[in-house]
Amino acid sequence: MKNEKKFQTLNIITISFAHLIHDIYSSFLAPILPLLIAKFNLSYSLVGLLTLFQRLPSLLNPFVGLIADRVSVRYFLIIAPALTTVSMSLLGCAPNYVVLAVLLFVTGISAALFHVPGPVMIKHVAGHRMGMGMSFYMLGGELARTVGPLIILGAVSLWTLEGTYKLIPFGLTASALLFFKFRNIEIKQDFKREEQRSRVGETLLNLLPFFLLLTAITFFRAIIKSTLTTFLPTYLNVKGASLWTGGISLSVLEFAGAIGTLFAGSISDYIGRKTTLLILTAVSPVLMWLFITINGFWTLPILLLLDFFCLPIARFSLLSSRKSDLKGRH
């Protein structure tokens, strides 16, 4: 029990690095979307479907969770970055829209394989400082989406859109390094102990009201986040901005989200996950309304604040599902 309560810094950093690698490649779509629209002559309806194909495998999350109870989840965090690396690096080489959709669907599967067990591993290596551990984990993801647009635009500048496959070796090398790091992290027994303490059906029944509320929060938050992170470069490009301007703008927004997740995690250790989640959820739609209605100088500051408050919501909804937080304790 003593080891379970210890904050394992090295393991936290390793898992966060895996999150960084995975999400760098998964953030490639939005910056090059204007180029893909021009290449395939896509309508905005077809562009919107691309994000659907990428997110549709998230419906498999419950099944991934069941599998994670029975296998060593560390291999999920090794395989997923490699799978995402290959599929996202081949977007520029896709010969048609169908292949593009398939590649994004594969990315969605690998994202499910990674993001379901990732927070659970953080829980078991962060001890009693789970908020801090989750902050490191989320920081890895948000920093990835900060530098990811710059990396893919740099690759396009060097090798053209069809040459982005040359990024594959970098991601595969990182996955190989993760294999050697993760071989010493084993939490399968922890999953077994959790399974022994409660039955799945009983747990779902007890937490059903909470998960219904959480589903609603996640759904409406996803509308805000997807609109900002997917279509911002395209929106700016239509307005006459260059591809680099759109990519840099997206990186700045994601950096604001990274700062928000870092602070929110530490704060949640003191005021509670539930309180933190309520504050983030209440402020985000207000800021979105202000962003839509206000023009001029205040547009950018409000947009930065919106990312600061909006991006941490999904991750802290995971932390709030702890029984102690449902009772209002921390």
Cα–Cα–Cα angle for 311, 313, 318, rounded to 5 degrees:
130
- Contact, 200 vs 70, CB < 8 A? no
272-326 confidence digits (pLDDT tens): 767 777 777 788 788 878 877 877 777 778 878 877 777 665 555 555 544 444 4
Hunting for tokens 């960084």 — which residue is that? 20
Residue 127: which domain range? Answer: 3-326
- Contact, 167 vs 154, CB < 8 A? no
Joined tokens for residue 176: 């190989």
- Residue 218 CB burial class (10 angstroms; 0-12, 13-18, ≥19): middle
Q: What is the DSSP string of 83-142?
A: HHHHHHHTGGG-SSHHHHHHHHHHHHHHHHHHHTHHHHHHHHHHTT-HHHHHHHHHHHHH
Rounded Cα–Cα distance for residues 312 and 136 (Å): 12
CATH code of residue 44: 1.20.1250.20
Q: How far is CA 241 from CA 47, 256, 267, in A?
A: 19, 21, 37
Joined tokens for residue 222: 């996803």
307-320 confidence digits (pLDDT tens): 777 766 555 555 55
**Number of independent structural domains in the chain:** 1
Which portions of the chain are predicted below pLDDT 50? 1-3, 190-191, 194-198, 321-330
Distance of CA 222 to the CA centre of its chain: 11
Main-chain dihedrals φ then ψ at residue 239, nearest 5 degrees: -75, -5
Rounded Cα–Cα distance for residues 244 and 113 (Å): 31
What's the farthest any 2 CA atoms get from each other in the chain?
59
Joined tokens for residue 35: 């180029």
- Contact, 253 vs 142, CB < 8 A? no
Hunting for tokens 């009983």 — which residue is that? 202
Predicted local distance difference test score (pLDDT) of residue 12: 87
Instruction: For residue 312, give the nearest of 291, 288, 286, 281 by alpha carbon.
Output: 281
Predicted local distance difference test score (pLDDT) of residue 324: 42
Q: Whole-model pTM?
A: 0.74
